[in-house]
Amino acid sequence: MAHIPDGVLSWPVLAAGGVAAAAAVTLGVRALDEQRIPRVAIVAAAFFALSLFSIPLGPSSVHLLLGGLMGLILGAAIFPAVLAALLLQAVMFGFGGLTSIGVNTINIALPGAIAGMIFAPLVAQADVARAALYGGICAACAVLGTGLMVSFSLYASSPDFAASSRIVVFSYAPLLIVEALVTGFCVSFVKRVKPELLARARSA
């Protein structure tokens, strides 16, 4: 649902998303220490593989976005990581959209980056139980942020989408709950097994 296809959004929205994504990805890549690119990239690959895993939910299933968790672990590198994942998805499965790739990158990565920036220091310092709670809240904020941004992308594109854009936000509710729970448990696991993954926050 977070992947808006080609042919839905208007040109101004697509252009704004493209410019914002180009700037954020450039900054994200520049912020990476040359030595650390392989490490960050391999962790980014793990995130992408995890997002392809579908979690059955009642009659349907959900795919995790993992924005909050990526924000916690990858920091600003979330922007190039999400763009690489979306590109790979376009070639592997042929979907996602070419003109909308910038908007989709920002919609997924920006809320994750902001939530990660706020919660990473808290998670790093907290004990296991609190870290899990913060992790869950971080993931929920990121999903909510993505839902709102997808909704806004539609709303800003055409007045015809106004009503639909309000419904879109609610369609994120199941994912928000699942993602908060899974991320919370995941943070709890990582905090016990390899706390430095979360402690070094932006240094993967």
Partner 1 sequence: MSLSSSLHVQRETGLIEALDPRSRLIGAAILVGAIVSLHTFTARFAALGLAIALVVAARIEPRLIVRRLAHLEGFMILLLIMLPLTVPGQPLASLGPLTISDRGVERAFGVVLTVNAAALCVFALVGTLEPIRLGRAMAALGVSERFVRLFMFVVRYNGIFGVEIRRQFESMRARGFRAGVRRHAFRSYGNLAGMILVRSIERAERVDEAMRCRGFSGRFPMRRIRPMTLADGLFAAFAALMVIMLIGLDRFA
Residues numbered 17 to 46 that lie near partner 1 (CB under 8 A) are 25-26, 29, 32, 34, 37-46
Torsion angle of alpha carbons 38, 43, 49, 50, nearest 10°? 180
Interacting residues with partner 1 between 127 and 166 (CB under 8 A): 160-164
- Count of residues in contact with partner 1, rule CB under 8 A: 78
Q: Are 109 and 79 in contact (CB under 8 A)?
A: yes
Using the minimum distance from each CB to partner 1, give the nearer residue, 73 or 144. Answer: 73
Specify the long-range contacts of residues 59-63, CB closer than 8 Å, at least 24 apart: 62/174, 62/175, 62/178
Q: Are 183 and 134 in contact (CB under 8 A)?
A: no
Q: Which two tokens stand for residue 73?
A: 């672990």
Among 50, 117, 124, 156, binds partner 1 (CB under 8 A): 50
Q: Considering the rule CB under 8 A, would residue 59 count as an interface residue with partner 1?
A: no
Q: Which of 20, 84, 148, 199 binds partner 1 (CB under 8 A)?
A: 84
Residue 68 near partner 1 by CB under 8 A: no
Per CB under 8 A, 173 contacts partner 1: no
3-state class (DSSP) for residue 56: strand
Q: Choose the binding region for partner 1 from 56-64, 104-112, 118-126, 140-148 (rule: CB under 8 A).
A: 56-64
